[in-house]
Amino acid sequence: MDDSALILYLEDNPRDAELVRDKLQQTPSLACELRVAGNRAEYEAALAETRFDLILTDYALPGYDGMAALALAHEKQPDVPVILISGTLGEERAVDCMIRGATDYVLKQNLYRLVPAVLRALAEAKEHRKRRETEAALRQNEAKYRDLVENLNDVIFTVDLQGTLTYVSPPTRQIIGYAPDELVGRSFREIIHPDDLPGLNQRFREILENHIAPWEFRFRTKVGEIRWARTSSRPIVESGRPVGIRGVLSDITRRKGAEEALNRSLEATLSVLSHTAELRDPYTAGHQRRVTELATALARGLGFSDDECGALRVAGLLHDIGKLRIPAEILSKPGQLSAIEFALIREHPQTAYDILTDVAFPGPVAEIVLQHHERLDGSGYPRGLAGEQILREARILAVADVVEAMASHRPYRAALGIDDALTEIRAGSGTRYDQQIADACLTLFESGQFSFSPTSSRA
């Protein structure tokens, strides 16, 4: 770690406190300062006076317990990870602690796990801080974007049926660089970027047929600068027949720049969140990216719009973010999970929804993620939704998730391969999985139109 981490340890047994101190200080890769609170009063005072990077707490204390210490830590320093250390913590209590927000737990008889748990918690906290900073930048850019939109200067124009400009308002000097009389009598096509001209010609014909919709395109100014414009236009009708088009042109170049900045911020947020999940479950590193590849390929093949595909892409990249709350030992356990462990894993869609629901993503990203383990016949979780209750995007994500998971290695089994994965989709088509989506998936693979990218790369 680049900077020394400040760690608070609530422990009433001086010998145990020294054992933990020795473990931490003997690790070259962990630069830290450990402050020990021997009782509840010292612990509360430390939380009130100092900002910590990590909190360690014994579970069983005289007149106080780990649950109360955990609750107080969340109240006073809500973003700081908490690891419970105990010699008496049973499995059910450990899982309960995790559900209540503990980052991890370590048994005193297994202190060899302490340093890895501390390093992992500090790394995850750092990623969480980066995510908050990225989201703050995103909100700041959104405010700038709104300010830009509210203060745009517009050009009013008219053209005849051939596209010749018959009127241009004075702001054209500031936006396009031409005086109005320099443009009147010329075709609007002369200043349009060549790559955007085919679409604009199509839009011109549609407007004359009274199909009204805004259009965005690039144009060239008098000095050769390429800028962005948005037009809202409608036909000029005389004696029941169109004789031209009247419209308003707005220079949206700065807005486009702000949108690009927003997109970069969004991509940074996605990268941080996705990477954070992979820190918790390294065996499935790249899983979210590969699921996203298949899900977006299915959506495009099924005629989804760009906006719908965009929302599905974001949901795919983040669909397992809820596994942050699951102990790494459970995620990477090579053997059979206990009923309690499996119940904890089944909570990850709800946890992911809680993380994502307040983020201003494009489309219903949080709801798609929440539903990605639902099944068409109602046998899924967490809400047992069925049929049309499940979003189409979530039905696509469910199929993509199953195919990638079965085709890839897991700690509890070797990769089953794409053939077994497609057999599962074929067997569940129309029952567990949407038949149209299942058929599209089978077609993609059997026709050779799709294959997963290598597992070594990461989104």
Residue 458 lies in a domain: no
Least confident of 109-113, 325-329, 348-352: 325-329
Residues 12 and 88 grouped into a single domain: yes
229, 251, 273 - which closes a domain: 251
In this structure, the answer to whether residues 116 and 212 fall within a common structural domain is: no
Tell me the pTM. 0.52
pLDDT digits (tens, 9 = 90+) for 294-323: 999 999 999 998 889 989 999 998 888 888
Least confident span in 77-81, 125-129, 192-196, 233-237: 125-129
Q: Is the pLDDT score of 171 beyond 70?
A: yes
- Is the pLDDT assigned to residue 427 strictly greater than 80? yes
For the chain, the maximum distance between any two Cα atoms, rounded to a whole number of angstroms, is 97
Tens digits of per-residue pLDDT, 230-286? 998 999 999 989 999 999 899 988 888 877 777 777 777 777 777 776 676 665 558
78 and 122 assigned to the same domain: yes
The amino acid present at 182, given as its one-letter code, is E
Closest CA to 292 of 325, 270, 262: 270
Relative to beta strand 104-107, strand 82-86 is: parallel
Query: Is residue 46 in a domain?
Result: yes
Of the ranges 35-49, 106-120, 252-266, which is most confident?
A: 35-49
- Is 176 part of any domain? yes
Q: Are residues 391 and 426 in the same domain?
A: yes
User: pLDDT tens digits for 130-140?
Assistant: 888 888 888 77
> Does residue 230 form part of some domain?
yes
Q: What is the mean pLDDT of the chain?
A: 86
Do 426 and 291 sit in the same domain of this protein?
yes
Mean pLDDT of 351-365: 86
Which among 87, 20, 28 has a CA at the least distance from the CA of 55? 20
Pairing of strands 82-86, 154-160: unpaired
Does pLDDT of 149 surpass 60? Answer: no
pLDDT at 456: 38
Bond preceding residue 382 cis, omega within 30 of 0: yes
In which band, very low, low, confident or very high, does the pLDDT at 412 lie, cut at 50, 70 and 90?
low
Of 209, 211, 248, nearest to 232 (Cα)? 248
The percent of residues above 90 in pLDDT, for the chain, comes to 45
| Mean pLDDT lowest among 389-398, 406-415, 419-428 | 406-415
List, in sequence order, every residue forming a beta bridge with 433; answer none if it has no partner.
Answer: 429
Q: Do 24 and 59 belong to one domain?
A: yes
The pLDDT assigned to 397 comes to 96
Domain-embedded: residue 454: no
